[in-house]
Amino acid sequence: MMRPNSLTSIAAVAATALVSAAALAVDTPKIDSRVQNALQTFYAQGDNHRELAHKAAAVLVFPRVTKAGVGVGGEFGEGALEVHGKTVGYYRVTGASVGATLGAARRSEVFLFMTDEARDHFMNSRDWTIGADTGVAVVKKGAGAQYDTGTLNKPVLAFVFGEKGLLGDVSLEGAKVTKLAE
Describe the chain by its helix, strand, coil percentages, rounded to 5.
Answer: 30, 40, 30
Q: Tell me which DSSP letter residue 37 carries.
A: H
99 φ/ψ sector (left φ>0, alpha ψ -120 to 50, else beta): left
Q: Tell me which DSSP letter residue 18 carries.
A: H
Q: pTM of the prediction?
A: 0.79
Please tell me the predicted confidence (pLDDT) of residue 7: 43
Angle made by CA atoms 61, 127, 58, in degrees to the nearest 5: 35
Q: What's the burial of 114, exposed, middle or buried (CB within 10 Å: 0-12/13-18/19+)? A: buried
C-alpha distances in angstroms, 142 versus 35, 78, 90, 117, 167? 18, 21, 25, 26, 15
Cβ-proximal residues to 154 (8 Å cutoff; 6+ apart), any chain: 114, 135, 136, 137
Please tell me the predicted confidence (pLDDT) of residue 63: 97
Q: Could you state, in order of their start, the residue ranges of all structural domains in the chain?
A: 4-179
C-alpha distances in angstroms, 123 versus 83, 113, 140, 146, 158? 11, 11, 25, 28, 17
Q: What is the pLDDT along the chain (182 residues), one digit of tens a residue?
A: 444 444 444 444 444 444 444 445 689 999 999 999 999 999 998 888 999 999 999 999 999 999 887 777 788 999 999 999 999 999 999 988 776 667 888 989 999 999 999 999 999 988 888 766 556 777 755 555 556 666 777 899 988 888 888 765 556 667 899 999 86
Cβ-proximal residues to 47 (8 Å cutoff; 6+ apart), any chain: none
